[in-house]
Structure 1
Amino acid sequence: MTTFTLPLPRALPRRTVVGLTALTAVVALWSSFALSTRALEGAGLTMIDAAIVRFAVPAIVLSPWIPRAFRALRAERPAVLALVLLAGLPHFLLFAWGAHLTSAALTGLLVPGTVPLFVAVLLFLCARRRVSPRRLLALAAIVAGVLTSALFTGGPAGPAGIAVLLAAGLVWAAYTLGVARARLDPITVIVVVSVTSVASALLLATTGVLPSTLLTGTADLSTVGTYALVQGVGTGLLSTACYVVAVKNLGSSLPAAAGALSPVLTAVVAVPLLGEPLGPGLGFALALITTGVAVFALSPASASAPDAGS
């Protein structure tokens, strides 16, 4: 009697498993930050105060690695290092400024939602790397979902605020490409970004370029502690490390695209947690984003070249 055996599914490469695990953590951490921003709104911290707390926590926690991290910079290319440093104070100030000019919900949608588009554009302009037709369709679905989400989110959204948020998305895309090409390990990236950013933030605060309640002693300590936990530990340490690991193992394009899932998770969790409604329009937009990310992940990067950093 002839027996038939079904072929067993091939196990994913270890790099892929590690990258996907890290990427899942990134989406969850970014979503948790967006959900926790309500507790921080109107808490008396200025933009530069938030930056100081955000980058001081990982700088202090990882202080034993500072000498080793800065020694590692000698082997890094200056242009790549400049791209990596964009993830620090430049992106943070653009993100916070855009949130101030528009709404927190729109900020959470526009920045991660536009990063994959900017990554694809930068790869084409810098490396002439063409995107496969299926990935172009996926990017179109993500962008359509982001635009639809913005339409149904409501709230103030002036042209200036949207322009600032788009600039924040472009900066994060440039950082993503820099990390994919960097020779630095995740801890070194966090240390260098955190130390340079907190030093720059303190300089802006002490010189009076930007106002600070921390330096005047009027900031609420409980708020500072909450922000240190959410931003310093959650975003500054965990999400940054996981994002670097994801880019190193999966390349630059997939992590950038999957970041668009964070507002989807935020909107879904906000229904039972915050009592926010999920209407048909927003649900359709989130379905577009989810479909776009899934198609992007399952499509070849291009017909002739692997993804950057893979």
Structure 2
Amino acid sequence: MTTFALAPRLALSRRTVVGTAALAGVIALWSAFALSTRALEATGLTTADAAILRFAVPVVLLAPWIPRTLRSLRGAGAGALALVLLAGIPHFLLFAWGAQLTSAGLTGLLVPGTVPLFVTLLLFLRHRTRVSPRRLLALTAIVVGVAASAILRGGSADLGGIAILLAAGLVWALYTLGLASARLDLVSVIVVISVTSTLAAVALALTGAMPSHLLDGTVPWSQIGTYALVQGVGTGLLSTACYVVAVQNLGGSLASSAGALSPVLTAVVAVPLLGEPITAGLAVALALIVSGVALFHLAPRR
């Protein structure tokens, strides 16, 4: 009797532990992506080099799934597939460009923080979707937080960089809507984005449209290995896998809301790692946008 009574509790505890560990991995990996992109210049890598490493590593690791992915593309709509591909080289270039013009804190905050806002706006324009009062309040907090980051910006933050990061958030929102329409499984999505983005990045480097130190052979192998591990394996594969595990064990709302802690971790780590202080504008924006994102995901849906 006692053994059977304890079994559900142990199972629940195990799910909670696994989900919490996976969510902690998501937060750390998302922060590492923002920090490594912001510190790109110090590595000796160019933006094209970073894109090649970011997308080529998943291509190599997931090569056995390429034939299956090509077959699955026949069932994906052309419009939805085009939106899915925005998550590759277009989003990465905007993210990297905005990171160079602002700070790690703003980079880790504005892109994921504004995705719920843009998704809701796009759905409203397309379907006139109603928004619950709590979600409307959450979106208002995000808008005010973005305004605070622009008005109270300090340090190396540039207004143009903030605009570019907002464009990256819009691109990711379009990808999110495309992902909901495209009939592709998780591995196929990663493969198709990685393959097309690798080809595009290599083409930009070979044609001279973007400089590349990687193809010139002037980048130390230690830098290549570190960046391939952080961006290619960490961001390209592990963060996605950890997020799926977190959602399966903790639920989508809690996983999405706790994921908003990633910008906070990014801003805190950027202080000793990159020497970027937490300015008044960044602190206000963090409080408003993180609270808005958490409230948005925890609010009831209409």
Which interval holds the TM-score relative to the shorter structure?
0.7 to 0.9
Report the CA distance shift for 1:124/1:245 in structure 2 as closer, same or farther (over 3 A).
farther
**C-alpha separation between the residues in 1 aligned to 2:103 and 2:279?**
18
Task: Tell me the residue number matched to 1:56.
Answer: 56
Determine whether 1:195 maps to 2:171: no
Structure 1 residues 125 and 261, CA, compared in 2 at 3 Å: closer, same or farther?
Answer: farther
**1:149 to partner: Cα distance:** 4.7
Matches within 5 A, 1:29-68: 29-37=29-37, 40-68=40-68
Count of aligned positions: 290
- In structure 2, distance between residues paired with 1:233 and 1:294: 27
TM superposition shift of 1:138? 0.8
Letter in 1 for 2:92: F
Residue 106 of structure 2 corresponds to 106
Change (3 A) 1:174 1:68: same
Alignment-derived partner of residue 26 in structure 2: 26
- Relative to structure 1, the CA distance from residue 121 to residue 244 in structure 2 (aligned partners, 3 Å threshold; closer, same or farther) is farther
8 Å contact from structure 1 (residues 180, 247) kept in 2: no
Partner in structure 2 of residue 232 of structure 1: 232
Tell me the amino acid that sits aligned with residue 96 of structure 1. Answer: A
Equivalent residue runs for 1:88-99 within 5 Å = 88-99=88-99
Tell me how far apart the structure 2 counterparts of residues 185 and 168 of structure 1 sit (CA, whole Å): 24
Q: Is the 8 A contact 2:150 2:159 kept in 1?
A: no
Shift of 1:201: 0.8
State the Cα distance separating 1:131 from its structure 2 match: 1.4
Q: Does 2:174 align with 1:174?
A: yes
CA distance in 1, matches of 2:285, 2:23: 22
Distance of aligned partners of 1:68 and 1:251 in 2 relative to their CA distance in 1, 3 Å threshold: farther
Change (3 A) 1:241 1:81: farther
Q: Gaps spanning 5+ residues in structure 2: where?
A: 1-10
Question: Which whole-Å CA distance do the structure 2 matches of 1:122 and 1:244 have between them?
Answer: 25
Deviation by residue 1:271-293 (Cα, 9 ceiling, x = unmatched): 68778765776555433334323
**Structure 2 residue 81 is the aligned partner of structure 1 residue 81:** yes
Q: Identify if the C-alpha distance between structure 1 residues 252 and 206 changes in structure 2 by more than 3 Å, giving closer, same or farther.
A: farther
Between the aligned partners of 2:251 and 2:177, the Cα distance in structure 1 is 9
Alignment partners' CA distance in 2, 1:274 and 1:73:
42
- CA 1:50 to 1:273, structure 2 compared with 1: closer, same or farther past 3 Å? closer
TM-score by length of 2: 0.81
CA contact (8 A) 1:142 1:292 kept: yes
Deviations 1:108-158 (A, max 9, x none): 222122211111111111222121111010111233334435556622333
Per-residue deviation, residues 11-43 of structure 1 (Å, max 9, x unmatched): 99xxxx999986664333211323445664422
CA distance in 1, matches of 2:95, 2:83: 17
- Provide the identity percentage: 71
Query: Secondary structure of the equivalent of 2:184?
Result: coil
1:98–1:161 contact (8 Å) kept in structure 2: yes
Cα 1:64–1:30 change in 2 (3 A) is same
Q: What is the CA distance between 1:245 and its match in structure 2?
A: 7.4
1:128 aligns with 2:128: yes
Alignment correspondent of 2:4: none
Q: Which amino acid aligns with 1:142?
A: I
Q: Which has the higher helix share?
A: 2
Name the CA shift for 1:65/1:238 in 2 (closer, same or farther; >3 Å).
same
SS at match of 2:215: helix
Mapped contact 1:180–1:252 kept (Cα < 8 A): no
Shift of residue 208 of structure 1?
1.3
CA deviations on 1:201-224 (whole Å, 9 max, x unpaired) are: 111111111111111111221111
Deviation of the 1:64 alpha carbon: 0.7
SS at match of 2:43: coil
Unaligned runs of 5+ in 1: 1-10, 303-310
Q: Which amino acid aligns with 1:42?
A: A
SS at match of 1:214: coil
Cα pair distance change 1:189/1:30, threshold 3 Å:
same
Note if contact 2:94-2:165 (Cα within 8 Å) is conserved in structure 1: yes
